[in-house]
Each structure stands twice: as structure tokens, then as C-alpha cells.
Amino acid sequence: MDEENQPPQPNPERKSLDDRAKMTDLERLRHSCAHVLATAILKIWPEAQFAAGPPVENGFYYDVELSHRISPEDFPKIEAEMKAITKANQPFEKVVVTREQALKDAQNGRLAAVADRQVPSKFKLDIVQNIPENEPISYFKNGDFIDLCAGPHVMRTGNIGAFKLTSVAAAYYKGDEKGPQLQRIYGTAFKNKTALDEYFKMLEEAKRRDHRKIGAEMGLFAIDTEFVGPGMPLWLPKGTVLVEELEKLAKETEFAAGYVRVRTPHLAKEKMYKTSGHLPYYAESMFPKMEMDEHRADRKDIEQRIAELEKQLSDHAKKDGSPASGNP
Ligand SMILES: [Zn+2]
């Protein structure tokens, strides 16, 4: 595919100053917890290289490059360090710096770190280099940890009442599959333990009411993860009636509103998903790229076989004296 014709992709992790100003209290708290997470990880693995650590729908994450593969078994150890940091109730201090200072500190490995290091803070260096000329550059400090960040945060680490690390996933720097692969550590945080407990109880309830579970129990569909795939229901008679009735209703409603229908293929080339903006954001939850027939070796075999048959046909026709045509 012609990559050079692609428009530059937005960095999904880069928030504008306007977006930042709109962060809710809970988002501030959760993003602050990402700083605490990074501080804790550095206590255990000082060489960790951090990329972006934004709040997300139900919590926060921080992307980290680290040779040690972090697994949920590491969570209690990391959470214990985090607990010590929130208990210490360190203030989050904002420091505005010049671009030169930021570049120097990034080179010295001092950004997203608790001290100078032997190697540059490479992702932070890249981020500094991409901050627009007119935008101020700031750090946020808690204890010895300094991060390049525009904020906002809570006042002190102690304002993060309750938190929990939830999962770890693979991610690419700036969502670019050709870029460095990082470990995305997810967590969530709340004002207090009651709110945290309620959240996990709600998740349990949601699991109990999961449509995949209920639909299967009601005999609407079956899901065969081994032979078909997860999220690909096989509609049984009762479920099919529902699907068709819904389709009928949708069509009637659309026609009544003056819409006309079109049909499109279910699949398209990678370029379309890049243009639509899905690929940079949802690559993790999308099906991987499909090898097209035209690239496959067996396609060549088929073409070769067709050529052989055509030759045989032509030779045969010559012998017979009849025209060599595929249409007798
Ligand atoms: Zn921050």
C-alpha cells in the first residue's frame, strides 16, 4: 500500500490545552494517579521509559517501555509503592520551563524519572520536540519524580483516595504499529475506597448481565470461540426472528423518513480504516489485516494450472482442426 500518500495521523494521546482545561475532577484525579504509578514503577525499575499517561473512560493508563514484562503478578508490588507515595501526600508542583531546559532534561534522562539517567528520556524528548512553538512547556513534580506535563492534577498525592491496577496490554508509541512497542498499564482511581468498591461491584453485576451470557441462555444465539470466533454469534431460530423483525422495523422507519438504502462490502483495504481514523485508535480491538488472495502463493499455483489447461486445450484443438476456444 502507498504509505507515503497517507495524511499524517493525529497523535491520539496528545490532548490540546483546551481539552485539558475540560478535564473533570475525576479525570484529574486519575491522571494524577498515572504520575504516582510512574513514580512507583521507577522505584522498582529505574530504567523505565514512559510515553503518555492520560485518563481514559474508566481510569487511566501509562505507557512504558521496559525489558521486564510487567504482569498482574507485579501489581501488588507496584501498588504497595503507590500506596507509600499517596500516603506521603506529596504536593504536585508545576514548574514552567524553557524549551531549551526541557530538551536538556530530556537528553539527561531526567523527564519521567526520579534522577538523571545514563540514557535520554526518549519519548519525552520526542514529545518536547513536538510541542507547538507558541505553547508553554511545564513540568509537574511530586517528590523526586519530574514529568513533562501540562496538567491539570489534584493538589497532592494524598487526594487520590483509592486506586487499583487493572490490566496490562501491548501498545504502540503514538498508536503507530511501526513504532516502538510499549506496555500499557491500566488502573483506576476514585476519591475514596467506597467509590472504588462500588465500581468493582458494578463490574461484577455487568458481567452477570452480559448480553453474551443472557443471549446464549435464552437460546437466541450460540458463540463458538473455537471454530468461529468470539463476538461472532451464530443466530439460532429464535434469535433470527428477532434480528429479522428489527431489520424490518429499521427499513420501514428509514423509508418513512425518506432515506434510500445502499449496500457496501463488509471488508475494505487498510487504507480505508486509516482514513476513517479507526486504525490509529482501535487497532487493538480490530481484526488483524487479512492476506489478500492476490498476494498468496496458491493463487499463483491456480494461475499456472489454468495456463497448463489452456495450452492442453489449444494443442488438442490444433490436432482436431477446430478453433481453440474456451467456448465450444
Ligand atoms: Zn500530568
Summarize the confidence of residues 174-196 as an average pLDDT: 93
Q: Residue 289's pLDDT band (boundaries 50, 70, 90)? A: confident
Ligand 1 geometric centre to CA of 150 (Å): 6
Ligand 1 geometric centre to CA of 71 (Å): 24
Length of the chain: 328
Q: What grid cell was written down for 51?
A: 510515553
Residues 6+ apart with CB under 8 A from 142: 35, 36, 39, 85, 90, 91, 92, 93, 157
| pLDDT of res. 18 | 75
Q: Residue 290's pLDDT band (boundaries 50, 70, 90)? A: confident
Among residues of the chain, what percentage have pLDDT more than 70? 91
Is the bond preceding residue 152 a cis peptide, omega within 30 degrees?
A: yes
**CA geometry: angle 124, 125, 129, nearest 5 deg:** 115
pLDDT at 116 over 60: yes
| pLDDT of res. 10 | 44
The whole-chain average pLDDT of the chain stands at 88
Minimum mean pLDDT among 72-81, 139-148, 188-197, 297-306: which range? 297-306
Q: What grid cell was written down for 2?
A: 502507498
Q: Which residue has the higher pLDDT, 20 or 238?
A: 238
List the shell of residues around ion ligand 1, using CB closer than 5 Å: 149
pLDDT at 322 over 80: no
Ligand 1 geometric centre to CA of 266 (Å): 41
Ligand 1 geometric centre to CA of 118 (Å): 24
Q: Residue 145's pLDDT band (boundaries 50, 70, 90)? A: very high
Minimum mean pLDDT among 87-91, 151-155, 290-294: which range? 290-294
| pLDDT of res. 96 | 95
pLDDT at 177 over 70: yes
Ligand 1 geometric centre to CA of 94 (Å): 10
| pLDDT of res. 2 | 40
Q: What grid cell was written down for 190?
A: 476514585
| pLDDT of res. 216 | 92
| pLDDT of res. 296 | 65
| pLDDT of res. 186 | 97
Q: Residue 251's pLDDT band (boundaries 50, 70, 90)? A: very high
pLDDT at 4 over 50: no
Ligand 1 geometric centre to CA of 147 (Å): 7
Ligand 1 geometric centre to CA of 135 (Å): 16
| pLDDT of res. 20 | 74
Q: Residue 14's pLDDT band (boundaries 50, 70, 90)? A: low
Ligand 1 geometric centre to CA of 146 (Å): 10
Reference 34, options 196, 175, 186, 200; nearest CA is 186
Give the whole-angstrom CA distance, residue 187 versus residue 56: 10
Rg (CA), the chain: 28
Give the whole-angstrom CA distance, residue 197 versus residue 162: 9
Ligand 1 geometric centre to CA of 163 (Å): 17
| CB 140 within 8 Å of CB 147 | yes
Ligand 1 geometric centre to CA of 120 (Å): 19
Q: Residue 324's pLDDT band (boundaries 50, 70, 90)? A: very low
Q: What grid cell was written down for 30?
A: 486519575
Summarize the confidence of residues 278-286 as an average pLDDT: 83
Q: Residue 297's pLDDT band (boundaries 50, 70, 90)? A: low
In 3-state terms, the chain is what percent helix, strand and coil (to 5)? 45, 15, 40
Q: H/E/C letters for each residue in 82-125?
A: HHHHHHCCCECEEEEECHHHHHHHHHCCCCCECCCCCCCCHHHH
Ligand 1 geometric centre to CA of 28 (Å): 8
Among residues of the chain, what percentage have pLDDT more than 90? 65
DSSP letter for each residue of 113-160: BSS--SS--HHHHHHHHTS-TTS-EEEEEETTEEEE------SBGGG-
CB atoms within 10 A of CB 288: 6
pLDDT at 84 over 70: yes
Ligand 1 geometric centre to CA of 182 (Å): 19
Ligand 1 geometric centre to CA of 68 (Å): 24
Reference 278, options 264, 268, 265, 292; nearest CA is 268
Q: Which residue has the higher pLDDT, 326 or 152?
A: 152
